[in-house]
A and B are shown apart, each in its own frame.
Chain A
């Protein structure tokens, strides 16, 4: 890790039925890794009385039933948080991996050239790096099923644009601050659109309306604009995305 500052893990009450385990106030990479490690650990531990676990970028919410032993749960969470904050801070092995076809550049990625330049790369090299990156769903939010995916190497720490992209389409793959968002619906954004997928992250009528889960590994696979257009016609709107279960 480039960030070697010790993490300060806090466990704070949220409402009447939750604890927030927070590894930082700001989106620091080490804290993102810790939050993901913590979420994986607590999901596997499944402490008694816990009814919901949800991870944001640098924090994890643990909700419990009213009858749960708050004090015992607090002690457990504090211990686990301290242990994880002390390292090693590597992303946990993923349980599942998605391979998602994406068409890069041109009309499907109007800001690919600009983003590649900012990362110090040619367009081709930028696409190669994106498709080779070991990425994870860091969190899901702002819309059902919509993932924040990261982290790209440090030279992808691109700032958000000062001018908003007034409208990117559903399926737009946008990049900033070493992360991608795969938009579920047409949206305005300050991030740069480098590609487009036919995979839809939220389809209410689908058997799995929101198929992505926090911690899922993501690999983007380069596809042509024609392929993405064709995959967009398949009614399940999975856009050719393939899921492997790894453990």
Chain B
């Protein structure tokens, strides 16, 4: 077992994985990482077969150290990272030696950064997940002095990998499909909604993100509506016609009408939109959405093929001779092999 010590917590730091699906009937939402793609990227970079439990960092990072050599992946919102004094590339893996201090500071774009140890955080699971679910009091935010158990890095000698930076951290177009309440909205309201460039509003957390704009989007059918099942991606209209995108820790039932649902593939764009970023909803048909969608397993396999070894200039490596340069090299197809 490897221990990850939080030496300093600047942002809202929580342990997150892919959450707890399958408990809607008992009122428990899936929860898990706000930017699920970032956990898939980390798994691909680290050569893991499935996403690992990581530290989600919102609004700032912190300082971290390990007591055994461990590779880490840095993914999600690009943040400034240094190991001792050396700058580290984001969207890449790095080997951390015991005693070294990893410093991560505020996001240059986006909201949620992720620090994933190669063995995954091995804190006590609850209902088969380690995800902190703040709304219902499962887990808590991390603070200085906390020590998290991690599984040992299965291959600390594996070379460092990087992925090209993604563009999901500055807002953009979010594809939306109709849902069971879409027909409650007048055609004019729907047209106005899809013609609006929204600003990511000041209100937002792991439960939902506000979309701000001048116009309001109401329906006469909102009153008396029976509460219905809701989920991440749903575009819920509050009583005054202000839309919220429901996120990982939303409730499981709600009484507000929903104009549509953001595609899971575009939800990371909403999660990573900082206040002020522009989000433009685009209505797509279910058929278009299905054609453009792949499973997270398929996405992980694809990401793995796009990871490239980090090329470092040996002249900048100050202790070159201490590096193990041969063993642990792989063909880069670890995920395909059984």
Contact = CB atoms under 8 A, between A and B. Distances in A.
Decide if A and B are genuine partners.
yes
Contact of A56 (B21, B127, B226): B226
Interface stretch (A46-54, A91-99, A123-131, A237-245): A46-54
A59 B225 CA distance: 12
B241 interface: no
Interface stretch (A107-115, A137-145, A187-195, A228-236): A137-145
A14 B252 contact: no
Contacts of B264: 15-16
Contact of A14 (B179, B224, B227, B293): B179
Interface string B208-232: 0000000000000100111111010
Nearest to A205: B126
17 contacts: A12-B180, A13-B177, A16-B263, A20-B228, A22-B228, A26-B224, A56-B226, A57-B227, A58-B226, A59-B180, A141-B229, A142-B27, A142-B227, A142-B252, A143-B27, A145-B28, A204-B126
Interface string A193-211: 0000000001010000110
B27 A209 contact: no
Interface residues of B, number: 38
B28 to A, nearest CB: 4
Interface string A3-29: 000000010111110001010111100
Given A27-B224, A140-B26, 6 more contacts: A14-B229, A16-B264, A25-B184, A54-B252, A142-B253, A143-B251
A213 B227 CA distance: 18
B314 interface: no
B25 interface: yes
A52 B25 contact: yes
A112 to B, nearest CB: 26
A34 to B, nearest CB: 12
B261 interface: yes
Q: Name B's interface SS.
A: loop
B286 A56 contact: no
Given A25-B225, A141-B251, A54 B25 contact: yes
A109 to B, nearest CB: 24
A141 B27 contact: yes
Nearest to A210: B26
B27 A61 contact: no
Does more than half of chain A's interface fall in helix, strand or loop, or is it mixed? loop
Contacts of A204: 126, 136-138
Contacts of B137: 204
Given A15-B261, A210-B27, A24 B226 contact: yes
Nearest to A215: B25
B290 interface: yes
A54 B17 CA distance: 23
Given A16-B263, A52-B24, A210-B27, A141 B252 contact: yes
A228 to B, nearest CB: 23
Interface residues of A, number: 40
A76 interface: no
A140 B184 CA distance: 25
A84 B24 CA distance: 23
Nearest to A209: B127
A16 B24 contact: no
Interface of A: 10, 12-16, 20, 22, 24-27, 31, 51-59, 61, 63, 66, 139-146, 202, 204, 209-210, 212-214
What are the 5 A-B residue pairs with the smallest beta carbon separation, nearest first? A141-B253, A54-B24, A54-B25, A27-B226, A210-B26
- Residue from B26, B184, B286 with most neighbouring chain A CB atoms (10 Å): B26
A41 B20 CA distance: 25
A14 B138 contact: no
Interface in B1-41: 21-28
Contacts of A61: 24, 229
Nearest to B138: A204
Contact of A202 (B136, B226, B261): B136
A142 B29 CA distance: 10
Contacts of A146: 27
Given A25-B226, A56-B253, A143-B136, A15 B24 contact: no
B295 A14 contact: no
A59 B229 CA distance: 8
B47 interface: no
Contacts of B229: 14, 20, 54, 56, 59, 61, 141
